[in-house]
Amino acid sequence: MQTTRRDFLATAGAAAGVAAAPSTAHADEADHDRQAVPSDPTLRVKALESLLVEKGLVDRAALDALVDLFEHKIGPRNGARVVARAWADPDYKRRLLADANGAIAELGYTGQQGEHMVVVENTPGVHNVVVCTLCSCYPWPTLGLPPVWYKSAAYRSRAVIDPRGVLKELGVELSEDVEVRVWDSTAEIRYLVLPERPAGTEGMTEDALAALVTRDSMIGTGHALAPGARA
């Protein structure tokens, strides 16, 4: 059964000795999700957000909508269109691999956290995966906000030490003859994975192709969807 990102973080957190919420004595609550105590920065952000909302300076719904916009709509959708164009247009693909910034800008996607981009291509013999070992450097203009698991200490350390094992836990099983390359994002360079084009997509429009591209496939922790599959 495929491991979810939440399962991965929970397992890694338990292995690292992260304190979990106290267990309950009630049998009917035994299956409830447990949540680790937020880190100090997280607590500070939540406290600041609560204060701003209480003072009427910020609308909580507007904040949620803004985060959702970057995390699920603007970001991954932009990256998906870049990938779809590369799949459909060999000339664009060559430009993308040679000059990612210029090719991505052709589609109108530029901005902070994406000034210096490098695109790496997955092939039958090579699988690329992206991590930021120092913090959470991530290409916002193409992928939006980084997911929680990408920023976790478990992923940032283990993706470098045991990338094949981490990928397997996240549902990406690779044969031994496939080389795994790990790319460490920095403040200077952000990486985007060009996933392999799924079989059976010949003749599909760019819009249809873009619908098959997932955020995780552009990080390297997932594959693009097969035609007809759902994320």
| DSSP strand pairing (126-131 vs 179-184) | parallel
Q: Which backbone phi and psi does 180 adopt, to 5 degrees?
A: -105, 120
Active site residue 39: no
**Quick one: which of 228, 174, 223 has its CA closest to 201?**
228
Active site residue 135: yes
Q: Which two tokens stand for residue 126?
A: 């090579």
Residue 192: in which H helix or E strand, if any? strand 190-194
Of 137, 152, 185, 217, which is the active-site residue? 137
Query: Within 13 Å and on the Cβ side, how many CA atoms surround 215?
Result: 21
Spacing of C-alpha 146 from chain mean position? 6
Active site residue 132: yes
How many Å apart are CA 149 and CA 145, to the nearest integer?
12
**Quick one: which of 121, 67, 83 has its CA closest to 215?**
83
Of 39, 50, 135, 185, which is the active-site residue? 135
Of 50, 132, 152, 175, which is the active-site residue? 132
Active site residue 136: yes
Indicate which residues carry an active-site annotation.
132, 135-137
